[in-house]
A and B are shown apart, each in its own frame.
Chain A
């Protein structure tokens, strides 16, 4: 009997060590210290503390879930052990840092980090406090596990929303001031973080709202679905109209800085829509997709630049169709040599193609035409009835129009005969051919339509930046676009937008942490592949593919959401 319970304790010990390892790693690479500079709630909580405690919280929750018997007390014991064990690697770090010069090989173990970990209380007291905090976190996670779902999920929404609001305090307070003056702003925020009382109030309000909505949601949904079809259609039309109005007035709400962020999201979403056709619809893995973005951008630059490299007087609008057509043509040209390739080989060849275009742009050979490393300058912004669209708030509408057009074309194509050809080809090329599908034209159309969207995006990009350089078109952009359609959900149009918001919008808002951007990318992709491989907003086909183990997925999905926020 005693022996089995010893065996059982391996679970919290193991999960605790994993959590401790994660927290230790995040500390040792400097994330905790850097993020510690960003306060969420003034004098109470920093982002550094949140990421330090995230792993113990999640893993203690998992450990409580595996506790034997349905007794609350054993779950709490498991949570407690997980929390305490998770603190041990950090305590070791604190002790080691106080006796050795760790910075020689761990340059990020700075005095600031140790201060943060010990709450400025010295080695012994600090280690004890840290262990206590981790233990409390573990117990809290276990208690949360024992709460009924109707209570736990509003509480966790309240917590996540409050933390998110705290994280974006600066931007939010900025917008609040613009609309409501400084009154309400001062109540909620002090400086760059949430006021502690406001944070508490927000937490309570959001939790109550979430609890209320959680209970009413199903009845509301039932009421809607029991409405007569005509009313339902009206309701749907009304919500679409509301969405359109929101999209139209968005820059007014967002202001200059956030409009710029949204514009970048839009540029990538537009590329994502194009790559979604190639990879998501047609199943052709293209890693050199940035090439068409570059071609679109350089075409726009050469056609419209007022500098020495400009070759024509075309305006943005009259050059745009040419840019798109040129990119589509290059899409076709890339398609021809790779017609017979599949999978990995296709990926490698397209990767090479992307590099070739970038190196050509850098080359001396083409320098007289496209400026080599100096790039092309003095590209005018899009003109508009006598004025020109200079502000991000104005450019927003150009990008929005591009995205809506691309989304509409993608949607129509996916329902069309060509869409079905792509689908069949993606599933099985041989069988598709045996069904009478012409692989050659099907592939070439996918490549060139995808390239056209990317070229459109590039052309807008060039005009938005007013100058372009070869280094803006590196491999990382291709990877970025591919990642955003994977994160959003392969083959799904709303997924592209969600993916762009997560992978382009978030990093823009968290610019101070840019050095960890790729690391977080990688972590996010791994977590996605493990927990939610179909993406955040999967298309019907992908969802269906994974539906057989639906129960597992909703659970893992909830976890991934917690981890993602």
Chain B
């Protein structure tokens, strides 16, 4: 049984039909990537998985359980945690307050402080800036904070929405290295990316989304070799 199974999901914003029958599966321990142009519906897909948006048709199963009856905060308790697009840190709170918020639904103090150490190992920059207000962090640091905060929930499935957005190439590489590290520690990752080149290097499989529909799915290698993908998303003619 797949860890995450999205089956024939249709989602709407009012009358806008944003997702038109999407099906995705993610196996435990994988990194799966979702690529597509602006407005294709990638963020919308993540929102329907995390419960922020309810599908009008189709279903989302996590470890065999239908998530339809659960609202967004309950989905967090089921082990799904999201790094929102545009970072979405609490900009007036400090770095450590933000991290505390990430562990909000947990009550194991010992575990929380151990995880705090763990994310500081992953992101030493954040440790130096524990008491700094998140809004004054650089863009890259805010991205780190958003990722670190999502990890504080100790998720089994991490949904990441464009973690490389607006980062310098060096930082992009280190963000992707971190994703691989997180994955090696046992977290399954569903990664939405514009940077298809990098995403397809660390992912095992990928889906290509176009105007609300999955137009291609294949192994990462398969997608890298695919002429359409090369042309549209990798910038290779």
Report B120-164 residues with CB < 8 Å from chain A CB: 133, 135-136, 149, 153
- Residues on A with beta carbons closer than 8 Å to the beta carbon of B97: 423
Q: For the complex, what is the distance from the CA of A424 to the CA of B93, rounded to whole Å?
A: 9
Asked if B76 is an interface residue, CB under 8 A from chain A, the answer is yes
Q: Which residue of A lies closest to B90 (CB)?
A: A427
Asked if A517 is an interface residue, CB under 8 A from chain B, the answer is no
Q: Is the CB of B104 within 8 A of A433?
A: no
Asked if A545 is an interface residue, CB under 8 A from chain B, the answer is yes
Q: Which residue of B lies closest to A433 (CB)?
A: B72
Least CB distance from A430 to B in Å reads: 7
Known: A424-B90, A427-B93. A435 touches B84 (CB 8 A): no
**Which one, A436-444, A476-484, A494-502, is touching chain B?**
A436-444
Interface flags, B43-59, vs A, CB<8A=1, else 0: 00000001010000000
Contact among B50, B73, B89, B133 for A545, CB-based, below 8 A:
B133
Q: Which residue of B lies closest to A541 (CB)?
A: B92
Asked if B206 is an interface residue, CB under 8 A from chain A, the answer is no
Q: Is the CB of A545 within 8 A of B92?
A: yes
Q: Which residue of B lies closest to A544 (CB)?
A: B133
**From DSSP, what is the main secondary structure of chain A's interface residues?**
helix
Asked if A420 is an interface residue, CB under 8 A from chain B, the answer is yes
| Interface size class of chain B, counting residues whose CB lies under 8 Å from the partner chain | 20 to 34
Q: Which residue of A lies closest to B92 (CB)?
A: A545
Asked if A431 is an interface residue, CB under 8 A from chain B, the answer is yes
Q: Is the CB of A437 within 8 A of B93?
A: no
Q: Is the CB of A434 within 8 A of B82?
A: yes
Interface flags, A413-450, vs B, CB<8A=1, else 0: 00000001101100110111111111100000000000
- Residues on B with beta carbons closer than 8 Å to the beta carbon of A424: 90, 101, 104
Q: For the complex, what is the distance from the CA of A433 to the CA of B153, rounded to whole Å?
A: 13
Asked if B17 is an interface residue, CB under 8 A from chain A, the answer is no
Q: For the complex, what is the distance from the CA of A309 to the CA of B10, rounded to whole Å?
A: 59
Known: A420-B100, A548-B136. A436 touches B77 (CB 8 A): yes
Q: Is the CB of A433 within 8 A of B93?
A: no
Q: Which of A428, A430, A431, A432 has the most CB of B within 10 A?
A: A431
Q: Which residue of A lies closest to B146 (CB)?
A: A431
Contact among B71, B77, B88, B136 for A431, CB-based, below 8 A:
B88
- Residues on A with beta carbons closer than 8 Å to the beta carbon of B91: 427
Asked if B212 is an interface residue, CB under 8 A from chain A, the answer is no
Q: Is the CB of B153 within 8 A of A435?
A: yes
Asked if B217 is an interface residue, CB under 8 A from chain A, the answer is no
Asked if B102 is an interface residue, CB under 8 A from chain A, the answer is yes
Q: Is the CB of B104 within 8 A of A434?
A: no
Contact among B52, B104, B133 for A437, CB-based, below 8 A:
B104
Q: Is the CB of B76 within 8 A of A427?
A: no
Asked if B105 is an interface residue, CB under 8 A from chain A, the answer is yes
Contact among A428, A431, A436, A545 for B105, CB-based, below 8 A:
A436
Known: A424-B90, A436-B105, A548-B136. A430 touches B76 (CB 8 A): no
- Residues on B with beta carbons closer than 8 Å to the beta carbon of A544: 92, 94, 133
Q: For the complex, what is the distance from the CA of A439 to the CA of B51, rounded to whole Å?
A: 13
Q: For the complex, what is the distance from the CA of A433 to the CA of B77, rounded to whole Å?
A: 11
Q: Which residue of A lies closest to B87 (CB)?
A: A431
- Residues on B with beta carbons closer than 8 Å to the beta carbon of A428: 88, 90
Known: A420-B101, A430-B52, A434-B50. A439 touches B73 (CB 8 A): yes
Q: For the complex, what is the distance from the CA of A545 to the CA of B136, rounded to whole Å?
A: 9
- Residues on A with beta carbons closer than 8 Å to the beta carbon of B82: 434
Q: For the complex, what is the distance from the CA of A435 to the CA of B89, rounded to whole Å?
A: 11
Contact among A421, A431, A438, A439 for B90, CB-based, below 8 A:
A431
Q: Is the CB of B93 within 8 A of A435?
A: no
Q: Which of A432, A436, A548 has the most CB of B within 10 A?
A: A436
Known: A420-B104, A437-B73. A430 touches B92 (CB 8 A): no
Known: A423-B93, A427-B90. A434 touches B72 (CB 8 A): yes
Q: Is the CB of A438 within 8 A of B73?
A: yes
- Residues on A with beta carbons closer than 8 Å to the beta carbon of B81: 434
- Residues on B with beta carbons closer than 8 Å to the beta carbon of A435: 73, 76, 101-102, 104-105, 149, 153
Q: Which residue of A lies closest to B81 (CB)?
A: A434
Q: Is the CB of B84 within 8 A of A431?
A: yes
Q: For the complex, what is the distance from the CA of A545 to the CA of B90, rounded to whole Å?
A: 12
Q: For the complex, what is the distance from the CA of A423 to the CA of B73, rounded to whole Å?
A: 16
Q: Which residue of B lies closest to A431 (CB)?
A: B88
Q: For the complex, what is the distance from the CA of A427 to the CA of B73, rounded to whole Å?
A: 16
- Residues on A with beta carbons closer than 8 Å to the beta carbon of B105: 435-436
Report B153-187 residues with CB < 8 Å from chain A CB: 153
- Residues on A with beta carbons closer than 8 Å to the beta carbon of B92: 427, 541, 544-545
Interface flags, A521-550, vs B, CB<8A=1, else 0: 000000000000000000001001100100
Q: Which residue of B lies closest to A547 (CB)?
A: B133
Least CB distance from B208 to A in Å reads: 26
Q: For the complex, what is the distance from the CA of A432 to the CA of B88, rounded to whole Å?
A: 10
Q: Which residue of A lies closest to B76 (CB)?
A: A436
Least CB distance from B109 to A in Å reads: 12
- Residues on B with beta carbons closer than 8 Å to the beta carbon of A433: 52, 71-73
Contact among B73, B90, B93, B133 for A436, CB-based, below 8 A:
B73
Q: Which residue of A lies closest to B132 (CB)?
A: A544
Q: For the complex, what is the distance from the CA of A427 to the CA of B153, rounded to whole Å?
A: 19
Q: Supply 6 further A-B pairs (C-beta < 8 A) apart from A421-B104, A435-B76, A544-B92.
A: A424-B104, A435-B105, A436-B74, A436-B105, A544-B94, A545-B135
Show 20 A/B contacts (Cβ-Cβ < 8 Å), sorted by A. Answer: A420-B101, A420-B104, A423-B93, A427-B91, A427-B92, A427-B93, A431-B89, A433-B52, A434-B52, A434-B81, A434-B88, A435-B102, A435-B104, A435-B153, A436-B74, A436-B77, A541-B92, A544-B92, A544-B94, A545-B92
The 4 closest A-B pairs by CB, nearest first: A436-B76, A436-B105, A427-B90, A433-B72
